[in-house]
Structure 1
Amino acid sequence: MYKLVLIRHGESEWNKANFFTGWTDIDLSDKGIEEAQNAGRLLKEAQFAFDVAYTSYLKRAIKTLDYVLEEMDLLWIPVYKAWQLNERHYGALQGLSKTTVAQRYGEEQVKLWRRSYNELPPALTKDDKRYPIYDAKYRDIDDEFIPLTESLKETAIRVKYYWNREIKTQIKKGNNVLIVAHGNSLRALLKFLDNLTPGEIIDLDIPTGDPLVYMLDKQLHPVDKYYL
């Protein structure tokens, strides 16, 4: 039996302001810092320990992981950052108020953009300053992998690829793994871990800062899960 712990980063400044964030590199709010520290305390009190941790390239996830590990006195463990664990890219919606977008396009369309499996938000153009290729973090990534927009389906492809290539190997070695990522990259992970349908994924929500524990069998199929 293996244990895997997943945490969505603490509340960010744009979560608080109700903006579409995506790959925009927004920091934690004060509440988000408290959520991250509390997650670390909960894990320590429950006597969890980790051998390795994974996070994205985005500082709201990186800092959440740092706060968790600091509370657990585990800042020394190996940490791997992967762009494949980034939040879903929201294209031209990034930086826009969700309320304003809903007024323009309607609540139902916004729900589809946010929650559905296949729906693509409006894309950026390649000359848009929000296009990640202009960000130094992604300078070593081939242009073909840099999105102009993404559906959850496309997010799931990159998350599953990284899971199969890197994370699964660590778990099967017997290492205790912690993943700190984002609402949609974790929804993508849960879709194939729990074998959810595109219809079921619409109503799946992951709260910020709450450790989600998975118990996995030898084939890495879930046999139990719970929030601390």
Structure 2
Amino acid sequence: MTLVVLRHGESEWNASDRFAGWVDVGLTATGRDEARTAGRQLRAASLVPDVVHTSRLARAVDTADLVVAGCGGPASAGLRTELLNERHYGTLQGMRRADAVARYGAGPVARWRRGIDGRPPRDAEGRGESLADVRARLEPYVASTLLPQLAAGRTVLVVSHGNTIRMLRRLVEGLSDEQACALEVPTGQPVVVQAQRPASYSSI
């Protein structure tokens, strides 16, 4: 029983340093190459997934499809759920990071990005999430879907987003909030955990 977590390949807004959040942006050519490489890495490591979970955002779904094609995994995406979406960045969505710092200040932007309770200004529909909000929405997914599938002996690939993966590892690995918030999650790099040793993570 093995869990593999993967941040989607480089997106168009990663490349232009914009906050994407729940906005559906596509992969760059580099991002597609990262996904294909990740698939080959999984195949070479004999870690072909039995089931694949993704967010509902195209950059994660497209990454998962390319990974599966590269490793020979299951034809269906398995589970697509908003619970695995990136955090909603409120009014910051679509804004360049430099412009956000110019408008709100470096300190607030840093707290919104990596503080567990830092919530960016809400958008016109009242939406905007802290990392703690993301952690809370992941808890039912981890308890009712992910852990039972791992306990059943399946190899599960989760293709998601940087902040979501931080909080997913927080829950599964038993990290502190501070440790999870400090994690660096590069695009397109699979990270593996053996379920019988839940604190043992390694990049392929």
Partner of 2:144: 165
Question: How many angstroms apart in 2 are the aligned matches of 1:21 and 1:120?
Answer: 15
Question: How many angstroms apart in 2 are the aligned matches of 1:90 and 1:118?
Answer: 13
CA drift of 1:77 comes to: 4.7
Deviations 1:115-137 (A, max 9, x none): 111011000122xxxxxxxxxxx
The amino acid that maps onto 2:92 is L
Deviations 1:82-122 (A, max 9, x none): 11000000011101111111122222221111111101100
Consecutive unaligned residues in structure 2, runs of 5 or more: none
Contact 2:10-2:28 within 8 A present in 1 as well: yes
Contact 2:56-2:82 within 8 A present in 1 as well: yes
TM-score of the two chains, using structure 2 as the length reference: 0.95
In 2 relative to 1, CA 199–75 (structure 1 residues): closer, same or farther, beyond 3 Å?
closer
2:182 corresponds to 1:203: yes
Contact 1:9-1:182 within 8 A present in 2 as well: yes
2:132 corresponds to 1:153: yes
1:183 to 147, 156, 162: 162
Deviations 1:160-211 (A, max 9, x none): 2111111111111111111000001111111122322232233211111000
Question: How many angstroms apart in 1 are the aligned matches of 2:133 and 2:88?
Answer: 10
Question: How many angstroms apart in 2 are the aligned matches of 1:215 and 1:155?
Answer: 24
Q: State how 1:87-102 maps to structure 2 within 5 Å.
A: 87-102=86-101
The amino acid that maps onto 2:150 is I
User: 1:202 aligns to what SS in structure 2?
Assistant: helix
Question: How many angstroms apart in 1 are the aligned matches of 2:39 and 2:12?
Answer: 21
Partner of 1:20: 19
Question: How many angstroms apart in 2 are the aligned matches of 1:61 and 1:164?
Answer: 22
| Sequence identity percentage | 37
RMSD: 1.4
Deviations 1:45-75 (A, max 9, x none): 1121221110000000000000000011224
2:198 corresponds to 1:222: yes
Larger CA Rg, structure 1 vs 2 = 1
Contact 1:51-1:77 within 8 A present in 2 as well: no
Question: How many angstroms apart in 1 are the aligned matches of 2:29 and 2:48?
Answer: 26
The amino acid that maps onto 1:191 is R
Aligned residue-pair number: 204
User: 1:26 aligns to what SS in structure 2?
Assistant: coil
Question: How many angstroms apart in 1 are the aligned matches of 2:113 and 2:69?
Answer: 32
Question: How many angstroms apart in 2 are the aligned matches of 1:164 and 1:84?
Answer: 12
Consecutive unaligned residues in structure 1, runs of 5 or more: 127-146
User: 1:178 aligns to what SS in structure 2?
Assistant: strand
Q: State how 1:22-171 maps to structure 2 within 5 Å.
A: 22-77=21-76, 79-126=78-125, 148-171=127-150
